[in-house]
Structure formats: C-alpha cells, structure tokens
Structure 1
Amino acid sequence: MTVLSDREIKNPHGTFVKTRFLLPSLTKAEKKVAVFLLEKPDLVLGLTLAEFAEAAGSSQASVLRFCQKLGLEGFSELKLHLTKELSVKQPDVTSQEVSLDDSFAEIMEKVFLINIQTLQDTLALNAQNCEEALNALLTASRVIFFGMGDAIIPCYFADIKFKRLGINSQVHSDPDLQLTMASLLEPGDVAFAVSHSGRSRTIVEAMRLAKERKATTISITKYEKSPLTKVSDITIFTATVDTTLGKEIIARRVAEQAILESLYLGLLAKKRQQYEKNLKITTEVIKFNKL
C-alpha cells in the first residue's frame, strides 16, 4: 500500500506534515534524516546531498529513501518543496496547549486552531487513498460501518448520509452485532472502520473477519503501524495533533467526519442522476418531522 504517492502537495506545509506522519515507521537512519529536516529546514536548503547526509548522521542512500517515502523523486525535489513551504509561515500547533488557566476566549481560539490545522494536515496525506476508497464505495453492494466509543459517532453520521442516497448501509454499536455483521459479509461488500488508535479489539477483529470473507476493507485511523492497517485494503490517515488537557480534543472526530463527508459528496457527484433522485425523495419525506 502506497501511503504518500500523491505528487501534489496541497497543504502549504505538506512536507513537514508527511515527515511527522512517517516518523514512527522510518528506519533508524531515515529517522535521523527526518528529525534533522524538521529541526533545521532552513539549513537543509544550503546543503548538497552528501552534506545533508553527513549533517544528519546518516547516509546518502537513506536520504534518497526518505525522499521516496515522501513521494518525491529525490533530494532536489525535496529542496524545491522546502523552498516553497518555508516562504509560508508554519503554524506551531504544539504551542497551542490548552490550559485550565486560559480565559474562555483563549480556549476557544486554541481549540479552533487545532481543528483547522488537523483538517489541513489530514488533507495533505490522503488524496490518492480517498480516491481509492471512493471507487470501492461506488461499486459496493452494501457498506457496513464499524466503530467503538465516540468513534461510532462519525459512523452514524455517514450511515444516515449514505441511506439518504439509497445506499445499502448499516452501523451497529453493539460489539456482538458488529462481529456478526462482519462474519456475514460477501465479496462486493465494503467494511468501513473508524478507529483513532487502530487498536480497538472488536473493530480489528471485525475487519479481519470481513477481509476473510473477501469484502473490501477501508479504515480511517491515525497510525500507520497498527493492527487495523494490517487488515485494511485501503487506509485513510488523520493527522491529529492533540495538545489539550487529557488528550480529549474532538479534532480526530472532526477529521474523520470531514473525510466521510467528502466521500459522501464524491458519491453524489459520481452518480448524480441516481443519487439526486433518491436524495430528493428522502429529503421530502422527512419534512414530516418538522413543524
């Protein structure tokens, strides 16, 4: 699975976003390259490939492998992106830690900034993977969503949206029902999981069962190296930076919901004639619930 093959960096700081995302999965030598880049990007611009490798305490081969993992052809292209990105001030989200001593106005500002940055960074990671997910959904016989805890919320959101288009979708919060549904999936079905950590036991098992049944498995998670990604055909990554007290910011849920909303609108755009008709019917019928 290629995570970062999209050549167009739409986020003005896409290289930094992708570098931070890749850090946990890099080799020791590649990690030295990444850390040096994040800490001294201005210095990198004035270095040759050999000088950069030496300064980072790594090798030229490791630098080139790192560039390839960013989706770049080589060191020259990396420097080109750095030149463009350093011309735009990079927001320091890590400095936006929410304190109980903050005024309410400060708390609001920090929460909004964290959510905005999370959405921008997530967008920089996922162009190709979202396209693959959309194509899988377009041909799906049915879509089953899986999530635990507050991760079930974006699943319910997506299920409602998909149903209004006439898509055969389901979501269940009960762990037993989730495993039951997964065990009965068939080729042509899509199992769609949402898990920030990628380590929810029930969700991972449900996706394993779905994959075993030859259904297409799609997941949204933050971590590339997690049990969930191992049982996912397509993985969409969120780039959440949580600096709030107790690490309970809703930024991860906002990013997940934005991804699902994008897929919903993508489906509507691709099958406009069919889905617009269904949406008109379902929109009209639920007017009954409003006075």
Structure 2
Amino acid sequence: MNEKTIQGALFEINARWDQLSDSEKKVAAYVLREPKKTLHFTIKELSKQSGSSQAAVIRFCKHLDFASFSNFKLRLARDVFDNNDERYIPDLELESETSAAHVIHTVINRFQRSFSALERSLEAEMLEQAVQCIRTAQTTLLFGVGASGVVAFDFMQKLIRLGLPVFYTHDTDLQLTAASTIRPTDCAFIISYSGEKSDMIEAAKQIKKNQAKLISLTMDSDNTLRMLADIQLVVPASERIYREGASTSRTNQLAVIDILYSLMVSKNLDASIEAIEQTMAVTHRGNEKGKKTSRTS
C-alpha cells in the first residue's frame, strides 16, 4: 500500500483558496507572494506583514489542515527548498521592532538550552581519545571553512600557546593540499556543523587514504564526515542547516574546543603553565614595545 503523498503548503493554499475567509486570504496571498520570507516569521510577524491578525494566521493553518504553524512552515520549506527535512527551515523566527529586553531574554534562553543539550551530547571517552591523538601527533592539522573556520583558528591559537605543533589556514585549497600530504603520524581535526561540506568530505577522504587519525566535530546526526572519522565529537543539532548565520552551533563548537584545551592543560599541568607563561611574556613585551614606539614617534 502506497503512502499518501504529502503536498507542499503552496499546493494546499491554491487548492483551497476559495474556502478561505477574507482575512485568511490576506495571509495566503502574502505567503504565495513571499514564501521564502514567510519561513523566517513568527505568527505575530506574519500577521503584521500580511495585514491580518494572529487569529487569522492560526485559522489559516487549521483551515488548510496543518497541525501547527511549525508544521505549516515545514511544508512550506518543501516548496521553497525542495526538501521536507525540518533542518532546512530557517532557524531564526524574526519579528520587526522587537525590544532589546525581549531579544536579550530570547537569545540567552536559547544558549542556555543549547549548553544543556551539549552536556548530554558529549562523550567523555571520545574527548579523551581526541586529546590523546592531539598530544601524541607529530603535527595536528585543523580543517574548517566559514564559521567552523573561525573555531579552527581559535583552536590553533590555543594549541600554539601550549607549544604543540599545529597547522591551519583559511584557504580551502591549501587545506585540501595539506590533507593530501598528511602523514600517518599526524592528527587531523575537521570541524563542520553539517558534516556535509564537499571540501571537508574530500579532505577527510584524503586523510583516510594517508592513514592519519581523523577527529570530526559535527552536529549530532548520521552525516558523512562523522561516519568517516575515527574519533567523533558532536554538538547538538540546535540549528537547522539553512540559517542566517551560525550562532548556537558556533558557540557549542567553541565550548568543545575550550573543553579539549582544559583537558590538555590538565594532562601536563606544569609544562602547560610554563608554555602559557612564556607566550604571555612574549606578547606582553611586544605590546609594551609597541606602546613605547608610538609615544616616541
């Protein structure tokens, strides 16, 4: 027996247009005109943009047999992105003229939920294995692009401060070149929230071909990069793949980096303190020299 085909939201709107009330038609007309923008809105903002009421938006959803406003947006995402996976719905629910107090509460609350989920997602054994891989590697090569590249750069700075050999570049072609020449004695660490970036998957394949250990840091899903990795670190799937910009995912990734850094410091506390103090002394002298030069020039 074949399953019933689930139609997108735009099909349902066009099929049942004549059954909608005048206020519901205002909502429907806006959705048909601006389907991509609609995906970003709350009920309140959609009612404002369409010149209707919040009650009309709720009735509109019920009239078209959508179980909820979220279900309506999931079906609409199928039309806009040709995919009915909820990860492709924009993560932000935007409203115009939102107060600063409301934004503060919303964003902080989102991060609190995300950190709680991160604590449940991380496996201590995987973290220990990752630390061991990095500490014993001849060189640790870091990989990441976009927001994940920012996280990789942060980790590079931390490893340098501990005196550990590390390589990272923002240049994607150079990352792929490094992956193709990696040695079995090296450790590779690829950061990609989706785990499906084509360049990062190609880098992972090159790393595996050269028999180097591979650590991945991805969202908690059965993604390609995670499946290729020897050591799998994950952050919660707190953001959908189509989003305005990484926020909780990036913060979670940075938290994992801080956890790894703290673990590495604790494994060799005396040497770590010495290395940190040495780098602090050098940068402090450099800053003081720069200040003196500027005062005398």
TM range (shorter): 0.5 to 0.7
1:106 alignment counterpart? 102
Structure 1 or 2, whichever has the larger Rg, is: 2
> 2:287 is matched with which residue: 282, 286, 289?
289
Report deviation, 1:98.
4.9
Amino acid at match of 1:111: V
**1:207 counterpart SS class:** helix
Alpha-carbon spacing, 1:246–1:197, altered in 2? closer, same or farther (3 Å): closer
Give the 5 Å matches for 1:250-269: 250-269=247-266
Alpha-carbon spacing, 1:199–1:246, altered in 2? closer, same or farther (3 Å): closer
Amino acid at match of 1:221: T
Taking the aligned partners of 1:246 and 1:256, their CA distance within structure 2 comes to 16
The answer to whether the aligner puts 1:278 opposite 2:275 as a matched pair is yes
2:210 alignment counterpart? 213
Taking the aligned partners of 1:157 and 1:195, their CA distance within structure 2 comes to 14
Taking the aligned partners of 1:236 and 1:182, their CA distance within structure 2 comes to 19
Report deviation, 1:181.
0.6
The answer to whether the aligner puts 1:167 opposite 2:161 as a matched pair is no
Taking the aligned partners of 1:205 and 1:280, their CA distance within structure 2 comes to 38
Report deviation, 1:145.
0.7
**1:145 counterpart SS class:** strand
**2:283 counterpart SS class:** helix
Q: Deviations over 1:124-154 (max 9, x none)?
A: 1113321221222221211111001121001
User: Unaligned regions of 5+ residues in structure 1, if any?
Assistant: 1-95
Q: Deviations over 1:50-98 (max 9, x none)?
A: xxxxxxxxxxxxxxxxxxxxxxxxxxxxxxxxxxxxxxxxxxxxxx955
Give the 5 Å matches for 1:92-171: 97-127=93-123, 128-171=125-168
CA contact (8 A) 2:265 2:272 kept: yes
**1:99 counterpart SS class:** coil
2:201 alignment counterpart? 204
Report deviation, 1:249.
4.5
Give the 5 Å matches for 1:235-254: 235-242=232-239, 246-254=243-251
Report deviation, 1:107.
1.2
**1:196 counterpart SS class:** coil
Taking the aligned partners of 2:155 and 2:246, their CA distance within structure 1 comes to 21
**1:102 counterpart SS class:** coil
CA contact (8 A) 2:220 2:237 kept: no
Taking the aligned partners of 1:193 and 1:149, their CA distance within structure 2 comes to 13
Percent sequence identity over aligned pairs: 25
Report deviation, 1:285.
0.1
**1:260 counterpart SS class:** helix
**1:191 counterpart SS class:** strand
Q: Deviations over 1:160-217 (max 9, x none)?
A: 1100110001111111100111111112211101101101111111111112111110
Amino acid at match of 2:226: T
- What TM-score does the superposition give when structure 2 sets the normalisation length? 0.62
The Cα RMSD (Å) is: 2.1
Alpha-carbon spacing, 1:223–1:121, altered in 2? closer, same or farther (3 Å): closer
Taking the aligned partners of 1:99 and 1:277, their CA distance within structure 2 comes to 50
User: Unaligned regions of 5+ residues in structure 2, if any?
Assistant: 1-91, 292-297
Amino acid at match of 2:144: G
Taking the aligned partners of 1:192 and 1:249, their CA distance within structure 2 comes to 19
Taking the aligned partners of 2:116 and 2:161, their CA distance within structure 1 comes to 28
Taking the aligned partners of 1:240 and 1:114, their CA distance within structure 2 comes to 13
The answer to whether the aligner puts 1:193 opposite 2:190 as a matched pair is yes
Q: RCO greater where, 1 or 2, for CA within 8 Å and sep 6 or more?
A: 1
Amino acid at match of 1:237: V
